[in-house]
Amino acid sequence: VARDNGVVTSTEASEQLFDRARAVSPGGVNSPVRAFRAVGGTPIFMASGQGAWLTDVDGRRYVDLVGSWGPMLLGHAHPEVLAAVGDAVARGTSFGTPSEPEVLLAEEIVARASAESVRMVSSGTEATMSAIRLARGFTGRNKIVKFAGCYHGHVDALLAQAGSGVVTLGLPETPGVPSHVTADTIVLPYNDRAAVEAAFAEYGDQIACLITEAAAGNMGVVPPEPGFNQFLSEVCGRNGALFISDEVMTGFRVTRSGHWGLDGEREGWVPDLVTYGKVMGGGFPAAAFGGRRDVMEQLAPVGPVYQAGTLSGNPIATTAGLTTLRLADAAAYERLDSASSQLQGLVRDALDAAGLAYVLQNAGNMFSVFWGVDAPVTDFAGAQAQEAWRYKPFFHAMLDAGIYLPPSAFECWFVSAAHDEEALSRIAEALPGAARAAAQATNE
């Protein structure tokens, strides 16, 4: 039972659907991060979305701070995106041939970001998986370097010490990934230059690539220390390894290009390969990997590295993504950044008033809270040291007040360009009570 402005409302329809879902699918969800395992309770089944708001199957409204885990940069059901998608659907949904929208979207991405050439896929997982295959094919080397707490999708070789749902569920490793598949994966602490130097000193001539989130957002938000990405790019360059920047979460969100707009573009370096997803699909399954032309041209049909997809560059998905990116102009990023910084201020005010120890960290407009810590979190060990249990009562108090947050303390809060004064004031009303609940929480 949830309360809406003092009125008790039911979550009966969600509960019924969840029972039916559990009978026909594992855990009743199609992605583990949607389950409420870390916070308890029944996942809320959403029926519709509009701007910053979601409406559940019981008819209750929430301010959405998940944004479909990143894609909904403009908020839900933007009328121009819906109109463009409607027109595209009327022309047919998939042709299995090249089509114009995928060219337009690729041109838009190349114009905004660091890639000279891009290949479309359908999920961020496919993008990172393919980028790694390409890096191995291009360099003729097998080893890859990743950072603990970074999540790059559920690619076998990248599930070592991963963030996101893997950390939320406290899984030490994933059965089903044979040890020989991760034997070539070197996992290092994030933001640790000495560890990177040491790994390259030992294995430099065997390392195909280093992959990193452009700013870590899957262990909570842990930004790269100033110059860290540039350093990684240089170390890779010196050792003949490719530097892969995973911008699936940050791409087209934190700036019009992504996190690269906050560091590389200013510092004058470019990643060899980059991966995108989320925002570039406008809520549909579209993702991409791209980068240096000489590397990309190792891909079939030009080169020998095979990669393919029945629905890659799908006309509906690419139309939704293209329309979203065209609407994501300077004014939209200004609204988004301003809503995010106002919200960060509201959260700080409420947590300070409740006397909580916490650190709120951001990478541009992406942010999250680390509970019960008093120093900046720079790596996975620091993120895991937080009092994540304080998040459970906080989350439920917010949910009861009609604010939909990620159901895990290790996830980023996503704001959209549609989070207006009404949405922010609704959040402001909910925060003090939730902060008090977090302050009173005990670790049972």
329 assigned to active site = no
146 assigned to active site = no
Residue 412 CB, shortest distance to ligand PLP, in Å, is 9
153 vs 282 by CB, closer to ligand PLP: 153
Stretch that binds ligand PLP, among 74-82, 241-249, 318-326, 363-371 (CB under 6 A): 241-249
Task: Give 402's contacts (C-beta < 8 A, 6+ positions apart).
Answer: 4, 5, 60, 61, 62, 63, 426, 430
Question: Angle formed by the axes of helices 315-327 and 79-90, to 10°?
Answer: 150
Stretch that binds ligand PLP, among 85-93, 122-130, 260-268, 296-304 (CB under 6 A): 122-130
| Residue 248 near ligand PLP by CB under 6 A | yes
Burial of 212 (0-12, 13-18, 19+ CB in 10 A): buried
Angle in degrees, CA 190, 182, 155, rounded to 5: 80
Query: Are residues 274 and 113 in contact, defined by beta-carbon separation less than 8 angstroms?
Result: yes
Residue 239 CB, shortest distance to ligand PLP, in Å, is 23
Binding mask 145-184 for ligand PLP (x = CB under 6 A): ------xxx----------x--------------------
Name the DSSP letter for residue 224: P
Nearest residue to the partner ligand PLP, using Cβ: 124
Which residue from 125, 130, 229, 344 is in contact with ligand PLP, where contact means CB under 6 A? 125
Residue 124 CB, shortest distance to ligand PLP, in Å, is 2
278 assigned to active site = yes
How many chain residues bind ligand PLP (CB under 6 A)? 16
* DSSP helix/strand/coil, 85: helix
E strands present in 270-365: 273-276, 287-291, 358-363
Pairing of strands 273-276, 287-291: antiparallel
* DSSP helix/strand/coil, 336: helix
Residue 178's region, left for phi above 0, alpha for psi from -120 to 50, else beta, is: beta
Catalytic-labelled residue, pool 62, 151, 276, 404: 151
Catalytic-labelled residue, pool 143, 146, 278, 392: 278
| Residue 124 near ligand PLP by CB under 6 A | yes
Count the neighbouring beta carbons within 10 Å of the beta carbon of residue 210: 28
Backbone angles phi, psi at 173, to 5 degrees: -155, 175
37 vs 396 by CB, closer to ligand PLP: 37
Query: Are residues 274 and 311 in contact, defined by beta-carbon separation less than 8 angstroms?
Result: no
| Residue 222 near ligand PLP by CB under 6 A | no
Catalytic-labelled residue, pool 246, 263, 272, 379: 246
Binding mask 357-396 for ligand PLP (x = CB under 6 A): ----------------------------------------
60 vs 284 by CB, closer to ligand PLP: 284
CA distance 24 to 28: 7
Residue 348 CB, shortest distance to ligand PLP, in Å, is 25
Q: Name the helix (H) or strand (E) containing 210.
A: strand 207-213
Task: Give me the amino acid identity at 294.
Answer: D
Residue 420 CB, shortest distance to ligand PLP, in Å, is 26
* Binding positions for ligand PLP, rule: CB under 6 A: 69, 123-125, 128, 151-153, 164, 213, 218, 246, 248-249, 277, 287
What are the residue numbers of the active site?
Answer: 151, 246, 278
